[in-house]
Amino acid sequence: MSNATLTHRSAAQGGERVPAWATALMHRLQRFMQRDAPNPAAREAEAVRELANRYRQTDRGFAADLYLAADRHEQLARERRPGTAADRRR
């Protein structure tokens, strides 16, 4: 195996030689971090669930509606995110 198959020149890094495996690993890590990064919908849904917890003792119906809304909000956001199971089914 020659050195040429293991490395490539990167214009973004000023032409420095970077091993191809390191570049591939970096790209995979970036995709992984983007896919698993906390999304705003999850934080919003958690805030609604905390509100529902406060109403659970005094107004069970309203709390149930809040839990349902939080679940639905999170599910819709998951379906819209690229790379999810719902996205792969299309």
Global pTM value: 0.51
The strand pairing partners of 8, in sequence order, are 18
Q: Note the pLDDT tens digit of each residue in 61-70.
A: 999 999 999 9
CA-based angle 53:41:34, to the nearest 5?
135
Mean pLDDT of 6-22: 58
Cβ partners under 8 Å of residue 81, min gap 6:
35, 39, 87
> Cβ distance 51 to 64 under 8 Å?
no
Cβ partners under 8 Å of residue 52, min gap 6:
62, 63, 64, 66, 67, 70
Q: Note the pLDDT tens digit of each residue in 31-82.
A: 766 665 567 888 899 999 999 999 999 999 999 999 999 999 999 988 887 6
